[in-house]
Amino acid sequence: MAPKTSRGKGNKGKGDKKRKEEKVVPSVIDITVVTPYESQVTLKGISTDKILDVKKLLGSHVETCHLTNYSLSHVARGHRLNDGVEIVSLKPCVLKIEEGMFFFYAALFVFYFHIPFSK
């Protein structure tokens, strides 16, 4: 028998087409963050932002840049929001900073070896 010549085509039929993804236009969202000192910080984010992006914004803000070990909580979603949670799903968009335990030796380890500390 002769070998098959069309090995790379696979089992796709001609009628199968890729679905077109709907593009959503990002919009500006006000994010209110309550600090451990009970002051409020209002950040401007976009609808495609996630919790990780909010943490980056907090790191560049004057009132919250000194906070290093914290988690964000939401009234409806509870404590310790995952970094992948989208801001659009949080209604109302009011987050609270909850300070975590600070381990001095872990901070020294990170400082000397530049390796992020994980729990």
pTM as predicted: 0.65
Query: Is 28-114 a domain of CATH 3.10.20.90?
Result: yes
For the chain, which residues make up each domain, given as ranges? 28-114
**CA dist list (Å): 10 to 7, 13, 18:** 7, 9, 15
Angle at 80 between CA 77 and CA 81, to 5 degrees: 55
**CA dist list (Å): 49 to 11, 22, 39, 57, 97:** 38, 18, 23, 11, 18
Q: With 70 as the cut, is the pLDDT of residue 97 above it? A: yes
Q: With 70 as the cut, is the pLDDT of residue 18 above it? A: no
Q: What is the pLDDT of residues 102-115, one digit of tens each?
A: 666 666 666 666 55
What are the DSSP E strand ranges found in 18-117?
Answer: 28-34, 40-46, 70-74, 94-99
